[in-house]
Amino acid sequence: MQSLLTPGRTPPGPARCLALGLLCALVLLLHATQAMAGGHAEAPMIHQTDIPMPMRDGVLLRADIWRPAGPGPFPALICRTPYGKDTDRDELRFARSAVARGYAVVIQDVRGRFASGGEFEPHRNEGRDGYDSIEWLAAQPWCDGRVGAFGLSYPGSAQWLAALEQPPHLLAMAPAMTYASLRQSIYPGGVMDMDWTRWALVSMAPDLRVRKHLPGPKTGHEAWLDWKRRGPEYFEGHLPLHTQPDLTSSPGAPGFYATWLRHPYADHWWDYADLAGRYDRVHAAVLNLSGWHDDAFSTHGAVDNFVGLMQARTGQHSGSEPRNMLVLGPWTHGIKAITGERDYGTREFDTAAHLDYDALVLDFMDLHVRGLRNRLAGSKPVRYFIMGDNQWREEDSWPPAGTRAYAVNLGPRRQPSELRRAPNRLSHAAPLPGPSSSSFVADPQKPVRAIPGSDVGPIDQRELTPHGDLLLFETRPLKRDTTVAGHIRAEIYVSTDAPDLDLYVKLLDVAADGTTYSLMSTGSEVLRASLRGPGRAKRLLEPDQVYRLDVNTLLTANTFHTGDRIRVVLCASWYPGMARNLQTGESELVSAVTRPARITVHHDAEHPSRLILPVLPRPEQAGQKAADAVTPLPAPGASPP
């Protein structure tokens, strides 16, 4: 739009400025009235941009505000984001949907991002700033004092950190796809998730460079092209990690990333963003939402936050409405995966997996912010999707009730004469007495490479076959459908000639035609051996001593059909998506020296390596019709029965 102050022209007088301002407001109102969303005319709204919101230390954060054109006051919803308050199409669509229901909506740039003042330190200021923003919002004349919060990923964690500060006007929040522990999200199982390098360079660094006039890509698009041009291994494969120049020492490097690398997994520096033990401080109603193929920290975050909040509220009177809900689909990260607008992986879940994200969150807000009874009133608090069956189930609690522990034991090849690349045995049969083991060699200079595309959802992983750098265990074809739902525990007995190793336990569903799908994201499958056991103290391994490593972070819901096989892959790396263990006892954060390790997995009666699966009774086995496994939620807007 051409500026009114065109060079060479006389500035307009006050009367003309007033007339032009009224005209702009009228055009804006008419535009909002006439805009179309999904083929339906939107309600009239008022849209304000870059509204300053003062924080307690004097820093101004800026927000865009949408609200109904009527007199108000209205209940209000807030989203606080580092990704740009006016760029996320999903958030903007949600804002329009919320205004149509009678809410005012605020989307704010968090401290140090885009239009807001201050320095950006990821997560560090979201508690205090979130409290101040919620209370500022509640005090506005167009707000009736009732506030809810929404947003996915970082905006989800911002909600939790604000809720811990106990803002009195926060009644409900929907923190989707976010963590229960920032420490575990950066270092799942004690191993650094290298996808944070892409987040830092592509999503965060460009705006930091613009703000400080630093060299390097200035937009997310430019940063992504630079990432693709130089390749992930240039950034993620560099050793030691703290010397990668683009991330730590160049003028345009995101400073916070170097700070992260100075604080390893066990450092108390991360304690501020561990939610465990503090759920009693949260009084708002909470909708937890994630997916089986979401980032591991998000899946575990939704479950851990739901369970922790339920335990903290034990004995509290909550009426008939579930003030704490958990929804777990088959999705990867992002709203478009939830709604089905974006494909994720190659496994088909059909439209049963899709949810109307806007309707679900707004129904939750209607119930807990406005007190309007709707389809969620009286519903069970847990709803999860079983892959394979492609059905939703409802529960009163998590983990699902009625499961029974079913152990599958690792063993040798069924016949000693079998080909070296034939899988080892995986069965319910107890291990035989006498020594029995299988070994592989892990070399950080020749790591197991991640299957291309495996970071964006379930894809065929049949190419993971027995080699010298991994072990594969597999059942015979199953004789009946078997549904596994909940937390899976792997107990693996290992010995090695190295002081440390990473153990990945990958659980796969092998169909009769050989198609092989993962059931969760990689961060759920790994444990650094030196960080085993209770606490976070680093304890190196003694050569050739046998240790039991418990990987208890496996989490999924899947039906293995008749004729399918259950496969378990054990390896010591997944490169470049996860940091490599140097296997010297030193950290890859500060050292580049590596060594190979011979890793032996023991599977005899004295060392019964196994997986313990939570198996659900099948509906047909319980005398039910399969179609009666779950009663679908009524359509959005329907009244409760």
What are the pLDDT digits (tens) for 494-530?
Answer: 999 999 999 999 999 999 999 999 999 989 999 999 9
- Average pLDDT of every residue of the chain: 89
The pLDDT, as a whole number, for residue 10 is 32
408 beta partners:
611
627 vs 592, higher pLDDT? 592
Residue 159 in any domain: the answer is yes
pLDDT over threshold 80, residue 9: no
pLDDT-based confidence at 419, cuts 50/70/90? low
pLDDT of amino acid 42? 63
SS (H, E, C) 140-202: CCCEEEEEEEEEECHHHHHHHHHHCCCCCCEEEEEEECCCCEHHHHHCHHHCCECHHHHHHHH
Examine residue 329 and state whether it is found in any structural domain, yes or no. Answer: yes
Of 355, 371, 395, the one marking the end of a domain is: 395
> Residue 232 corresponds to which tokens in the numbers above?
């992930």
Number of helices (H), then strands (E), in the chain: 14, 24
Q: Cβ(476)–Cβ(503) under 8 Å? A: no
pLDDT given at position 267: 95
Number of structural domains (the chain) is: 3
Which positions ≥6 away from 356 have C-beta within 8 Å?
339, 636
Domain that holds residue 90: 26-176+275-395
Task: Give a yes or no: residue 305 inside a domain.
Answer: yes
Residue 73: helix, strand or coil by DSSP? coil
99 backbone φψ class: left, alpha, beta (φ>0; ψ -120 to 50): alpha
pLDDT of the residue at 318: 54
Instruction: Verify that 549 and 423 share a domain, yes or no.
Output: yes
CATH number at residue 450: 2.60.120.260
Give the tens place of pLDDT for each residue, 294-329.
Answer: 999 999 999 999 999 999 998 775 555 669 999 999
**Rounded Cα–Cα distance for residues 125 and 127 (Å):** 6
**256 and 284 housed in the same domain:** no
* H or E segment and range at residue 228: helix 220-230
Q: Is residue 536 very low, low, confident or very high in pLDDT (cuts 50, 70, 90)?
A: confident
Q: What is the maximum span of the chain, computed from C-alpha positions, in angstroms? A: 97
Is the pLDDT score of 457 beyond 60?
yes
Mean pLDDT for the stretch of residues 278-292: 97
The percentage of residues in the chain with a pLDDT greater than 70, rounded to a whole number, is 88
Question: Final residue of a domain: which of 249, 267, 285?
Answer: 267
- Provide the CATH number for the domain around residue 96: 3.40.50.1820
Q: Which residue has the higher pLDDT, 399 or 416?
A: 399
- Is 528 within the bounds of a domain? yes
Q: Both 45 and 163 in a single domain?
A: yes
So what's the pLDDT on residue 7?
Answer: 30
The arithmetic mean of pLDDT across residues 566-577, rounded, is 96
Which of 168-177, 427-436, 463-472 reaches the highest mean pLDDT?
168-177
Residue 23 confidence (pLDDT): 35
According to the model, what pLDDT value does residue 31 have?
Answer: 44
d(CA 160, CA 274): 10
Lowest-pLDDT range of 92-96, 480-484, 586-590, 629-633? 629-633
Q: Which two tokens stand for residue 597?
A: 């390790």
Determine, yes or no, domain membership for 639: no
Whether 361 is covered by a domain: the verdict is yes
Write out pLDDT tens, residues 26-85.
334 434 434 433 444 566 899 999 999 999 999 999 999 999 998 899 999 999 999 999
What tokens does 228 get? Answer: 């693709």
* Least confident piece of the model among 16-25, 88-97, 174-183, 432-441: 16-25
3-state secondary structure of 425: strand
255 and 133 inside one domain: no
Give the pLDDT confidence score for residue 11 in this predicted structure: 34
**209 and 357 in one domain?**
no
- Say whether both 453 and 572 belong to one domain: yes
Is 364 found in the same domain as 438?
Answer: no
The average pLDDT across 444-453 equals 90
Does 12 reside within a domain? no
Find, among 71, 83, 124, the residue nearest to 107 by Cα. 83
Number of neighbours of residue 486 by Cβ within 10 angstroms: 19
What pLDDT shows up at residue 629?
37
Percent of the chain with pLDDT over 90: 79
> Are 290 and 240 in a shared domain?
no
Query: Considering only 107-121, 336-350, 432-446, which range has the smallest mean pLDDT?
Result: 336-350
Last residue of a domain, one of 339, 364, 395: 395
Residue 245 in this model has a pLDDT that exceeds 50: yes
* Other C-beta atoms lying within 10 Å of the C-beta of residue 396: 10
Q: Which of 583, 580, 513 is nearest to 543 (CA)?
A: 583
pLDDT value at position 633?
A: 41
Strands 143-152 and 74-81: parallel
Q: And the tokens for 330?
A: 């088959």
What's residue 621's pLDDT?
62
Q: Do 384 and 244 reside in the same domain of the chain? A: no
232 and 370 inside one domain: no
**What is the arithmetic mean of pLDDT over 555-571?**
97
Residue 506 lies in a domain: yes
**604 shares a domain with 470:** yes
Structure tokens at 579: 């940091």
> What pLDDT score does 320 carry?
54
Instruction: Identify whether residues 225 and 255 lie together within a single domain.
Output: yes
Q: What is the pLDDT of residue 465?
A: 86
The structure's pTM equals 0.90
